[in-house]
Chain A
Amino acid sequence: EDKVVQSPLSLVVHEGDTVTLNCSYEVTNFRSLLWYKQEKKAPTFLFMLTSSGIEKKSGRLSSILDKKELFSILNITATQTGDSAVYLCAVEATGNQFYFGTGTSLTVIP
């Protein structure tokens, strides 16, 4: 059965801390891995990863994929209260199928 597992389920940190969110997957016919940030409502896109070892960066956020270990991480440096959200990992498989993890809930305390 195809699945995406995220860890930890929740995380509480102080402003300025660095966090690492994990995503492991077992999905046949992998095409890409995507990270989303979900605040109150709809998820918003962060990164799409298709190749191993190539880091994607956007400001204080970065992500990398390891297709051999079937694993991805999302790093957030110098966290701010605005980073508080649920971070979703999704894997796209051929046939236009998407599988989402349950998310990691991040709370950043001032």
Chain B
Amino acid sequence: NAGVTQTPKFRILKIGQSMTLQCAQDMNHNYMYWYRQDPGMGLKLIYYSVGAGITDKGEVPNGYNVSRSTTEDFPLRLELAAPSQTSVYFCASSPHQETQYFGPGTRLLVL
């Protein structure tokens, strides 16, 4: 199993650009999550999904959108990138509401 994969690993965006961060898992997990981690800060939950077709907001959803059309994929969309969205983004999945398996992260820089 590849586990949780994320692409790209690193990206530089200009203010106002849009992009999609990809996340996929091959463990058939129902639950998937997107977090951001700012330097010296803990992880903050952006969005989560309890299954295909179901998504919900986390602690810091503003400026982001998600979709969950399949069990495997959970992309995160930034429509109008802002410098405040410079961060490292982690995707995670879990079989139940328990331990989460994290992807390797995507480092995003908005200039």
Contact = CB atoms under 8 A, between A and B. Distances in A.
Interface of A: 4, 31-32, 34, 41-45, 48, 88, 90, 92, 96-103
Interface in B64-94: 90
B105 A100 contact: no
A101 B41 CA distance: 8
A108 to B, nearest CB: 20
Interface residues of B, number: 25
Given A42-B103, A96-B97, A98-B33, 14 more contacts: A32-B98, A42-B90, A42-B105, A43-B102, A44-B102, A45-B100, A45-B101, A88-B43, A96-B56, A98-B43, A98-B100, A99-B45, A99-B59, A100-B42
A101 B42 contact: yes
Contacts of B100: 34, 45, 98
Contacts of B90: 42-43
Given A100-B44, A102-B42, A103-B42, A48 B104 contact: no
A96 B50 contact: yes
Interface string B21-43: 00000000001010100001111
B1 interface: no
A101 B59 CA distance: 14
B105 A98 contact: no
